[in-house]
Amino acid sequence: MRVLVIEDDEELAETVAAGLRQARMAVDVALDGEAGLARALVHDYEVIVLDRDLPAVHGDEVCAKLVAAGTRSRVLMLTGAAENEDLVDGLGLGADDYLTKPFAFAVLVARIGALARRTQPSIPPVLEHGDIVLDTARRRAQRAGRPLPLRPKEFGVLELLLAAQGRVVSAEELLERVWDEHADPFTHTVKITVSRLRAKLGDPPVIETVAKAGYRI
């Protein structure tokens, strides 16, 4: 899952990003509305965590422009105000959910997971293929009842391949959806991650390489 955090409090933004990465999400950070909007219109994020009171471009305007652009990203709006008027305004602009600061981090992760499952095409909370079970809500994976110690990127690759249900997923799509903006598109990072994932999944092999196309379950 790829998430964008748009928050002008740099310390809070980096703390949230670090926590989400520990929860096996790929995270980009923008510190103002203008930078956040630019990233959101270029990359395909499942969820955007959007602070309402932003410099450069206000969070309300960012939200409205995302809706007008037809992005499929779900927006979780953050605010320091608890008044009902702010809640109504935020949701009226197209935000999908609303969270008041300060918030419990576990609640933020749960809200992001719930919103991600509402993206199109939706990803079920539990993905299965044969004896492989991937619990996307609890971020756990197992094969034949054996827990799989997957790294965040390995988990993300397996999640996308399982969700594709046999469709070929290109290396470019994996890089876009699982890695953040700091990933080098000219490295063999996807190939290496798939190789490690195959080793952890064990036999019989379930990930097929399709020449000049990508990978599929």
d(CA 185, CA 180): 11
Residue 57 near residue 33, CB atoms below 8 Å? yes
pLDDT at 85: 58
Q: Which amino acid is at 42?
A: V
List where CATH 1.10.10.10 sits in the chain: 126-216
State phi, psi for 27 to the nearest 5 degrees: -130, 130
pLDDT at 165: 87
One digit per residue, pLDDT tens: the chain, 217 residues? 889 999 999 999 999 999 998 887 889 999 999 999 999 998 889 899 999 889 989 999 999 899 888 888 899 999 876 555 555 565 667 788 888 888 899 999 989 988 887 765 556 678 999 999 999 878 899 999 999 999 989 999 999 999 888 899 998 888 888 887 666 666 788 999 999 999 999 999 999 999 989 999 9
State how far the alpha carbon of 109 is from the alpha carbons of 18, 49, 102, 136, 150, in Å: 12, 11, 14, 12, 19
Helix spans in the chain (H): 10-22, 33-42, 59-69, 84-92, 105-116, 152-163, 171-178, 189-201
Structure tokens at 203: 């036999």
Q: Assign domain 2-116 to its CATH superfamily.
A: Response regulator (3.40.50.2300)
d(CA 167, CA 129): 13
Residue 162 near residue 217, CB atoms below 8 Å? yes
Q: Does domain 126-216 have CATH number 1.10.10.10?
A: yes
d(CA 45, CA 156): 14
CA gyration radius, the chain: 18
Number of neighbours of residue 165 by Cβ within 10 angstroms: 11
pLDDT at 206: 95
List where CATH 3.40.50.2300 sits in the chain: 2-116
